[in-house]
Structure 1
Amino acid sequence: MKSGFISLIGRTNAGKSTLINSLLEEKIALVSHKQNATRRKIKAIVMQDDNQLIFIDTPGLHESKASFNQLLIQSALKAMKDCDVIVFVASVFDEVSDYEKFLTLKPQIPHLVVLNKVDLAKNEEVLQKLSEYAKFSGDFQAIVPYSARQKSYKKALLDAIVKLLPKHEHFYDPAFLTPSSQKELFRDFILESLYENLSEELPYCSEVLVQSVKEKSNLFVIHAQIITDTNSHKAMIIGKEGATLRRIGQKARIKIENLTQKKVLLKLFVVVKKAWQKDEKFAKQMLGYEE
């Protein structure tokens, strides 16, 4: 029996969250085409025979001097140290230079490379990218092509990871999908709905705070705040006669119901906290990075 923690590392939009949902065969991680969508480290528990693999979805590696984004980068770098295996996730369309930048961080943990989104590329494109990574074969333990949509090479990927894990009893009940709390999951579903319904820049000025979750026999009652930085952004989130906020709430509710298999009563409120991204203590609290 082997058990261990696997940190998914890679640039933004490499498909890390989609990969987790694919391996788990259940949606728990926030997925968005917008960069830096993942803000918190979500853990997913995947069983491979009697082995337990605990995947940690981390914020994407990117270059930024903004204090809020620096917290995201620090979280990803910390995850590279607090694990048993690193999986570097790269789209088949990404430049190999992204992997070279990763190597400059001098990872001390064994790692392998997942070449993601191969279903969207031609065979010759996949082979070309594999040949480009071949010169780094002394750095990684394995390289595995993967399609999160088709789940091709899923067993090959899990087997490759298991080889690198230590022998250990299960850390969690094998029946669990994630040790992340309901509040964490619900918060990210609401945030994902923000990304889906608002313009490119606005979601980055917004956060979600789940104030309370009450579970009844066949119903979740959830109260949550959407926090944004200006009154004009608040007006955009609410929309004309509340239409945008209702749409955000409806989509979030459906996501939560699909996960919990229960009816959901979701009450959303929009509040303004000016310059919240510059308030390091508040940002750490929201992102769950406090020690």
Structure 2
Amino acid sequence: MKVGFVNIFGKPNAGKSTLMNALLGEKLAIVSPKVQTTRHRIKGILTTAAYQIIFSDTPGIIDPKYKLQQKMMHSVKSALEDADVALLLVDIKDNLEENDELFASLKLKVPCIVVLNKIDKSDAALTAGAISFFESKSYCKKVVTISALTGFKQEKFLKEILELLPEGEPFFEEDQLTDLSTRFFVAELIREKIFGLFEDEIPYHTTVLVTEFKEKQSLIKISADIIVNRESQKAILIGTGGQMIKKIGSEARVDIEKFVDSKVFLELFVKVRPKWRDNDLFLKEYGY
């Protein structure tokens, strides 16, 4: 049986979360057009009779400016250390030299597949040039082209990965999809709505903490705190007459009900924690 950790690396907004969700056929990682949506290393487990692949979506690689971003880069480091195969994801319209510098700096000692994403937005000449560019790099074992958003041949893609994976015993039960809790994914789905509904700095100054998750006979009661840095951000999230907080709640509840396969009663509260992104105690409490 082929078994191994296949970890996805790349710049912010290359499409890492979209790729992992497509490979799993399940939405585990939240997605947004905004950069730095992913803050944690999220594992998704794909098991058949012939293989078990543990995919990891990782935060986009950046130069950290505050402690939250430092924690994000620590999760990238842990993924670098246990990878059996690395998927190096590139937006085909992005600067190839910058991506090359980034991938070379990772100093990966495992087989690397360069995945050229968003080829639906490319042409034949641009794609051929990008393939040729990465094929010449010492870290690149092979180059694959995909469009993670509009679809690609999953079986063919998995075959390329399986050729490079070792044989072994599975790490997880065959029906296990992830190693993270339901509470974690509930918080992420709420955070995804904030990324979708608000502009500028609000999503980056916000995190979500699920404080209550009670399974009752007919529904699941969930309470969650939305944490912000400043009172002005709290006012924006709540909105006039509570309009925005209601919108976040109603949109999040739809996705949470799909995820937990149950009716949900969702309560949201907004709390101000000044400079929480640079406070080790707060970061630990919020799961970073």
Partner residue of 1:27?
27
Q: What letter is aligned with 1:124?
A: A
Instruction: State the 4+ residue runs in structure 1 displaced beyond 6 angstroms.
Output: none
Partner residue of 1:133?
134
Q: How far, CA to CA, are the matches of 1:263 and 1:163 in structure 2?
A: 43
Q: How far, CA to CA, are the matches of 1:49 and 1:218 in structure 2?
A: 36
The CA deviation at 1:175 is 2.0
Partners of 1:146 and 1:154 within 8 A in 2: no
Secondary structure at 2:140 match in 1: coil
Structure 2 residue 152 is matched with structure 1 residue 122: no
Between 1:214-223 and 1:109-118, the stretch displaced more is 214-223
Matches within 5 A, 1:8-87: 8-47=8-47, 50-87=50-87
Q: What letter is aligned with 2:12?
A: T
Partners of 2:114 and 2:140 within 8 A in 1: yes
Partner residue of 1:257?
257
Structure 2 residue 105 is matched with structure 1 residue 104: yes
Structure 2 residue 234 is matched with structure 1 residue 234: yes
Q: How far, CA to CA, are the matches of 1:177 and 1:218 in structure 2?
A: 25
Q: How far, CA to CA, are the matches of 1:275 and 1:38 in structure 2?
A: 20
5+ unaligned residues in a row in structure 2: which ranges? Answer: none
Q: What letter is aligned with 1:106?
A: K
Partners of 1:12 and 1:35 within 8 A in 2: yes
Q: What letter is aligned with 2:128?
A: L
5+ unaligned residues in a row in structure 1: which ranges? Answer: none
Structure 2 residue 276 is matched with structure 1 residue 269: no
The CA deviation at 1:207 is 0.6
The CA deviation at 1:49 is 5.3
Q: How far, CA to CA, are the matches of 1:176 and 1:254 in structure 2?
A: 23
The CA deviation at 1:196 is 0.7
Q: What letter is aligned with 2:242?
A: G
Between 1:80-89 and 1:121-130, the stretch displaced more is 121-130
Q: How far, CA to CA, are the matches of 1:282 and 1:95 in structure 2?
A: 36
Q: TM-score, normalised by structure 1?
A: 0.93
Partners of 1:147 and 1:153 within 8 A in 2: no
The CA deviation at 1:188 is 0.6
Q: How far, CA to CA, are the matches of 1:14 and 1:90 in structure 2?
A: 6
Q: How far, CA to CA, are the matches of 1:177 and 1:126 in structure 2?
A: 34
Q: What letter is aligned with 1:194?
A: I
Q: How far, CA to CA, are the matches of 1:250 and 1:8 in structure 2?
A: 32
Partners of 1:40 and 1:287 within 8 A in 2: no
Report sequence identity in percent.
36
Partners of 1:5 and 1:54 within 8 A in 2: yes
After superposition, the CA RMSD in angstroms is 1.6
Partner residue of 2:248?
248
The CA deviation at 1:67 is 2.6
Q: Deviations over 1:91-129 (max 9, x none)?
A: 111222212222123112222111111122223322221
Partner residue of 1:163?
163
Secondary structure at 1:142 match in 2: strand
Secondary structure at 1:13 match in 2: coil
Partners of 1:219 and 1:262 within 8 A in 2: yes
Cα 1:172–1:216 shift into 2, 3 Å: farther
Partners of 2:111 and 2:140 within 8 A in 1: yes
Q: Deviations over 1:147-174 (max 9, x none)?
A: 1123313222211211222212222222
Secondary structure at 2:5 match in 1: strand
Q: How far, CA to CA, are the matches of 2:147 and 2:174 in structure 1?
A: 25
Q: How far, CA to CA, are the matches of 2:153 and 2:100 in structure 1?
A: 21
